Amino acid sequence: MTDVLDEVRDHYRATGLTERLRMALAAFGPEDQRLTPQQLAALDQFHTRGLAATAELAELAGITAGMSVLDVGGGIGGPARFLAETRGCRVTGIDLSAPFVEAARYLTDRTGLGGRVSFETGSALALPFEDGQFDAVLLQHVAMNIADRMRLYRDIRRVLKTGGNFATFDVVELSGTQHFPVPWARTPATSSLLTEAATRAAIEAAGFRARHWRDDTEAAKGWIAQLRQSGPPASPNLGTVMGPDFAELAANLGRNLMEGRLGILMAVLEAVPANS
Ligand X SMILES: C[S@@+](CC[C@H](N)C(=O)[O-])C[C@H]1O[C@@H](n2cnc3c(N)ncnc32)[C@H](O)[C@@H]1O
Among 97, 191, 192, 240, which residue sits at the site for ligand X (rule: CB under 6 A)?
97
Q: How far apart are CA 110 and CA 136, in angstroms?
A: 25
x-marked contacts with ligand X along 154-193 as a string, rule CB under 6 A: -----------------------------xx---------
Residue 75 CB, shortest distance to ligand X, in Å, is 3
Beta pairing partners, 250: none
Q: Is 124 in the site for ligand X (CB under 6 A)?
A: yes
Q: Is 105 in the site for ligand X (CB under 6 A)?
A: no
Q: How far apart are CA 221 and CA 32, in angstroms?
A: 38
Q: What string of DSSP letters covers 231-262? A: -SPSSSSHHHHH-TTHHHHHHHHHHHHHTTSE
Identify whether the C-beta of residue 110 lies closer than 8 Å to the C-beta of residue 25. Answer: yes
Q: Look at strands 117-121 and 134-140 and give their pairing.
A: unpaired
Q: How far apart are CA 16 and CA 24, in angstroms?
A: 12
Among 55, 125, 174, 272, which residue sits at the site for ligand X (rule: CB under 6 A)?
125
Q: How far apart are CA 258 and CA 128, in angstroms?
A: 38
CA 170, distance to chain mean position in Å, is: 8
Residue 73 CB, shortest distance to ligand X, in Å, is 3
x-marked contacts with ligand X along 12-31 as a string, rule CB under 6 A: x-------------------
Residue 164 CB, shortest distance to ligand X, in Å, is 19
Identify whether the C-beta of residue 161 lies closer than 8 Å to the C-beta of residue 207. Answer: no
Q: Which residue's CB comes closest to ligand X?
A: 75
Beta strands in 107-239 (DSSP E): 117-121, 134-140, 160-173, 208-215
CA atoms within 13 A on the CB side of 139: 29
Q: Is 99 in the site for ligand X (CB under 6 A)?
A: no
Q: Name the segment binding ligand X (CB under 6 A); options: 33-41, 117-125, 195-203, 265-273.
A: 117-125
Residue 82 CB, shortest distance to ligand X, in Å, is 10
Q: Name the segment binding ligand X (CB under 6 A); options: 111-119, 141-149, 219-227, 255-263.
A: 141-149
x-marked contacts with ligand X along 36-75 as a string, rule CB under 6 A: ---------xxx-------------------------xxx
Q: Is 8 in the site for ligand X (CB under 6 A)?
A: yes
- What residues line the site for ligand X (CB under 6 A)? 8, 12, 45-47, 73-75, 78-79, 95-97, 100, 123-125, 140-142, 145-146, 183-184
